[in-house]
Chain A
Amino acid sequence: MSNPVNVYDARADHAVVAAESPLAYSYASSGTPAPARHSRVVMAERAFLGHLILRGGAIVIDEALREVLGLSLPGRPNTLTVADDGRYSVQWLSPDEWLLIVPGGEEFAVEGKLRQALGESHFAIVSVGGGQTVIELSGEAARDVLMKSTAYDVHPHAFPVGKGVTTCFAKTNVILRRPDEARWEIIVRRSFADYVYRWLLDAGEEYGIGVTRESHHEA
Chain B
Amino acid sequence: MNQPNRLAQGGRIDRRQPLSFRFNGQTYQGYAGDTLASALLANGVDLVNRSFKYSRPRGIVAAGAEEPNAVVQLGSTPATQVPNVRATQQALYDGLEARSTNGWPDAQRDVMRWVGKLGGPFMPPGFYYKTFMAPDSMWMTYEKAIRKTAGLGSSPTAADPDRYDHMNQHCDVLVVGAGPAGLSAALAAAHAGARVILCDEQEEMGGSLLDSRAQLDDRPAAQWARETLATLAEMDNVTLLPRTTANGYHDHHFVTLHERRTEHLGETAVSADGHRPVRSRMHRVRAGQVVLATGAHERPLVYAHNDVPGNLLAGAVSTYIRRYGVVPGNRLVLSTSNDHAYRAALDWQEAGREVAAIVDARDAPEGDVVERARAAGIRIITGSAVIEAKGSQRVSAARVARIDREAFTVVGQVETLACDTIASSGGYSPVIHLASHTGARPVWDESILGFVPTTVAGVHAAGGARGVYPLNAVLADGLDTGVRAATALGFTAATPAAASPHCEAPDEGPACALFQVPHEKSTLRAPKQFVDLQNDVTAGAIEVATREGFESIEHVKRYTAMGFGTDQGKLGNINGMAIAARCLGQSIPETGTTVFRPNYTPVPFGVIVGRHCRELFDPARYTPLQAWHEANGAEFEDVGQWKRPWYFPRERRTAEGTRLETMHEAVVRECRAVREGVGILDASTLGKIDIQGADAREFLGRIYTNKWQKLAPGRVRYGLMCGDDGMVMDDGTTSCLAENHFLMTTTTGNAAPVLEWLELWHQTEWPELDVSFTSVTDHWATMTLTGPEARKLLAELTDIDLDREAFKFMDWREGHVAGVPARVFRISFTGELAFEINVQAHYAMHVWKALFAHGDKYGLTPYGTETMHVLRAEKGFIIVGQDTDGSVTPEDLGMHWAIGYDKPFPWIGKRALTRSDTRRENRKQLVGLRPKDPSVVLEEGAQIVFDPDHAIPMPMVGHVTSSYYSPTLESGFALAVVKGGHQRMGESVYLPMADGRVHEAEIVGTQFVDPKGERQHV
Contacts and interface: CB of A to CB of B under 8 A. Distances in A.
Does chain A bind chain B? Answer: yes
Nearest to A120: B694
Contacts of B621: 191-192, 195
B865 to A, nearest CB: 16
B814 interface: yes
B737 interface: yes
Contacts of B264: none
A184 to B, nearest CB: 15
Instruction: Count chain A CB atoms within 10 A of each CB in B618, B621, B623, B841 and give the residue with the most.
Output: B841
B167 A147 contact: yes
Contacts of A183: none
B195 A155 contact: yes
A8 B821 contact: yes
A152 B690 CA distance: 30
Contacts of B774: 53, 55, 124, 126, 128
Contact of A128 (B619, B779, B845): B779
Contacts of B845: 18, 20, 24
Interface string A124-157: 1111111110000000000010011011110101
B228 interface: no
B772 interface: yes
Nearest to B688: A131
A5 interface: yes
B918 interface: no
B612 A194 contact: no
B166 A194 contact: no
B841 A3 contact: no
A13 B821 CA distance: 10
A17 interface: yes
B638 to A, nearest CB: 13
A172 interface: yes
A38 B273 contact: yes
A17 B740 CA distance: 32
Interface stretch (A73-81, A84-92, A199-207): A199-207
B692 interface: yes
B820 A12 contact: yes
Interface string B538-581: 00000000000000000000000000000000000000000000
Interface in A27-42: 28-29, 38
Contacts of B777: 131, 191
A67 B846 CA distance: 37
Given A147-B168, A147-B169, A151-B284, A191 B623 contact: yes
Nearest to B823: A8
A132 to B, nearest CB: 7
Given A6-B737, A25-B627, A147-B167, A124 B842 contact: no
Contacts of A190: 624, 778-779, 841
B846 A19 contact: yes
A15 B668 CA distance: 41
B693 interface: yes
A211 to B, nearest CB: 16
A122 interface: yes
A131 B841 contact: yes
Given A155-B195, A195-B619, A148 B821 contact: no
Interface in B351-402: none
A199 B820 CA distance: 32
B642 interface: yes
B168 A20 contact: no
A20 B615 contact: no
A189 B685 CA distance: 13
A72 interface: no
Nearest to B780: A130
Contact of A5 (B195, B619, B692, B780): B692
Nearest to A21: B842
Contact of A29 (B169, B195, B627, B818): B627
Interface in B819-846: 819-821, 823, 839-846
B170 A153 contact: yes
Interface string A101-130: 000000000000000000000101111111
A215 interface: no
B165 interface: yes
A1 to B, nearest CB: 9
B611 interface: yes
B741 A4 contact: yes
Nearest to B170: A153
Given A194-B620, A194-B622, A48 B842 contact: yes
A4 B168 CA distance: 47
Contacts of B779: 127-132, 190
Interface in B766-794: 770, 772, 774-781
A46 interface: no
A8 B616 contact: no
Interface in B139-170: 165-170
Contact of A10 (B169, B623, B690, B839): B839
Interface of B: 165-170, 195, 273, 275, 277-278, 284, 286, 611-612, 615-616, 618-624, 626-627, 642, 685, 690, 692-694, 713, 737-741, 770, 772, 774-781, 814, 818-821, 823, 839-846
15 contacts: A8-B814, A11-B821, A12-B846, A17-B819, A18-B843, A20-B624, A48-B842, A56-B772, A124-B774, A126-B692, A128-B776, A130-B840, A147-B167, A152-B168, A199-B616
Q: Which 3 A-B pairs have the closest CB atoms?
A: A131-B778, A131-B779, A130-B840
